[in-house]
Structure 1
Amino acid sequence: MTKSAAALYLIPTGLGNDDLINVLSPQVIEHVNKITHFIAENEKTARRFIKQVAPNKSQVKLNFKVLNKFTDPLDIPYFLEACLSGEPMGLMSEAGCPGVADPGAQIVKLAHQKNIQVIPLVGPSSILLAMMASGLNGQNFAFNGYLPIDKGEKKAAIKRLEKHSFEHQQAQVFIETPYRNNKFLDQLLSSLNPNTQLCIACNISTSEEFIKTLPVKEWSKQKVDLHKKPTIFIFQKEHFN
């Protein structure tokens, strides 16, 4: 399939505030320079990103549709009008790749329904980078997103997924709201088997990157502060434990 001028481009952003040129492909920068219609979670941070990667681009000419928890669902069907009029559009996440652990998935689904070509661009995904660096089963893993907030429900979910991990040798991947990271880690350490392998991947692709995999019993001896730091958690209970 040849690329359409009116396609929806999935534009990855950085995972931190470090030099974006080091983590983004030239293709991303090329398309950001060409596109004037964008869909983003936050217009202010999206404009800042565009200014970083395309400093000579006119900000005045940019058009934004904001997609977040405050967006009226009745407005979403009209978000791709520019594409339908022959203009390319860019979909951005607040961090990393759009459409994965990100509200942009509903826009991608809409594009397929409207027969608009979807073109994903290469960029950093904290989930895949953490999985790559974990040493756990990269051939069989599941991304679970957020677990329940309720403490009892969360513990039950951890136990259930640990059992599933053992039975299917499947690594289990999670995220948490950054200000709850330390409490989530405490609950993982108190709920998991002492020999279950746990990977903590924090501030990925930045100068403060921290990635380490240890048995739960070893993590209990460590002092790690994850407060307000973007973190991926991965665990796997292996058969030899």
Structure 2
Amino acid sequence: MNIQVQKSFETSPGGAADAVSGKLFLVGTPIGNLEDMTYRAVRTLQEADIIAAEDTRQTRKLLTHFDISPGKLLSYHEHNKVASGPELIRFIIEGKNLALVSDAGLPAISDPGSDLVKLALAAGISVIPVPGANAALSALIVSGLPTERFTFLGFLPRDHKEREQLLKSLEDREETMLMYESPHRLIKTVESLLEVWGDRRIVLARELTKRYEEMARGKVQDCLAWLQEHPPLGEYCLVVEGAHPDQVKEKRDAWWQSLTVEEHVRHYETEGEMTRKEAMKKTAADRGVAKRDIYNQLI
């Protein structure tokens, strides 16, 4: 049996890592309001031999606020992780405890911290979570949408075609969907949601825990119109309603499910005596996609 068991706080040899080795602590930091810093997070940063940060300038402000020495601060981010990662692992193996933080929230979510975790586990190093604030879950619990099951998508692809392909692959998922978005890409993302998923309920949460915290709740189309009058500002977390079970079942049971797009269009051309343009429009309506998607698949 190939299994690795971690005893996070075992002090004698025989656990996941040798007692001489240090440990990797993933420390949650505030997503805006400094009062969300936990006592344990402060203590862990105080006691750590090294603090690895995505943005050392931002983290230095945090350390200064809590009277923690910035002298043990090292840089670890997307552009230097290949070189810095193994070096940080070497420090831990030599017996140093390392605390990893991101710019805000929990490290290793939508940031290079996940790569450092993989390196640590491969080296037999204990990886210990020090929980804290999280934007996606904070938005979810105030959304008013179902919280029993959800899927976190991080940032959607920048490319329009890739973004639509991803959304298309998820259109029949019934759980609540969570995603992050920057202000300058928000409107395009919401437009894609409307085009692919339809007019579902959505919450646009911005500047969570900060002075200008704001949640806009409504249908996608209404929120899109609202954004035209209220230009996006700050970082956003989107919480989107999942597909309705009845609609998913109806679609799965549809007569055309076994047909290819070409066969579907041909059916309307022959049986319905429609023009090809009319048949393509009807096929798109059946499948819940844009007519151009049908056209693109047929050329």
How high is the TM-score relative to the length of structure 1? Answer: 0.84
In structure 2, the partner of 1:175 is: 180
Between the aligned partners of 2:246 and 2:225, the Cα distance in structure 1 is: 22
SS in structure 2 of the partner of residue 6 of structure 1 = coil
Query: How far off its partner does 1:125 sit?
Result: 0.6
**Deviation by residue 1:107-149 (Cα, 9 ceiling, x = unmatched):** 1111111121111112101111112222223222111122222
Instruction: Return the match for 1:98 from 100, 107, 113.
Output: 107
In structure 2, the partner of 1:151 is: 160
In structure 1, the partner of 2:220 is: 216
Structure-to-structure mapping, 1:189-228, within 5 angstroms? 189-194=194-199, 196-223=200-227, 225=230, 227-228=232-233
Are positions 1:29 and 2:39 aligned together? no
Between the aligned partners of 1:179 and 1:37, the Cα distance in structure 2 is: 35
SS in structure 2 of the partner of residue 79 of structure 1 = helix
CA contact (8 A) 2:153 2:178 kept: yes
CA contact (8 A) 1:138 1:171 kept: yes
CA contact (8 A) 1:39 1:91 kept: yes
Compare relative contact order (CA 8 Å, sep 6+) and give the higher one, 1 or 2.
1
Kindly tell me: are residues 35 and 75 of structure 1, through their superposed partners in 2, closer, same or farther at Cα, counting changes over 3 Å?
Answer: closer
Matched to 1:104, the amino acid is G
Greater alpha carbon shift after TM alignment, 177-186 vs 130-139: 177-186
CA contact (8 A) 1:39 1:92 kept: yes
SS in structure 2 of the partner of residue 145 of structure 1 = strand
In structure 2, the partner of 1:10 is: 26
**Deviation by residue 1:6-57 (Cα, 9 ceiling, x = unmatched):** 22111112212x3x1x21211111111112311111222121111122x2x3
Instruction: Return the match for 1:133 from 136, 142, 149.
Output: 142
Between the aligned partners of 2:162 and 2:56, the Cα distance in structure 1 is: 35
Kindly tell me: are residues 75 and 29 of structure 1, through their superposed partners in 2, closer, same or farther at Cα, counting changes over 3 Å?
Answer: closer
Larger Rg: 2
In structure 2, the partner of 1:58 is: 69
Are positions 1:76 and 2:85 aligned together? yes
Between the aligned partners of 1:120 and 1:226, the Cα distance in structure 2 is: 37
Matched to 1:30, the amino acid is R
- The structure in which a higher percent of residues are helix is 2
In structure 1, the partner of 2:126 is: 117
Query: How far off its partner does 1:191 sit?
Result: 4.2
CA contact (8 A) 1:134 1:212 kept: no
Kindly tell me: are residues 47 and 215 of structure 1, through their superposed partners in 2, closer, same or farther at Cα, counting changes over 3 Å?
Answer: same
CA contact (8 A) 2:203 2:216 kept: yes
- Give aligned pairs, total: 229
In structure 1, the gaps of 5 or more residues are none
CA contact (8 A) 2:81 2:112 kept: no
Between the aligned partners of 2:176 and 2:231, the Cα distance in structure 1 is: 21
SS in structure 2 of the partner of residue 9 of structure 1 = strand
Between the aligned partners of 1:212 and 1:3, the Cα distance in structure 2 is: 47
CA contact (8 A) 2:78 2:111 kept: no
Between the aligned partners of 1:118 and 1:225, the Cα distance in structure 2 is: 43
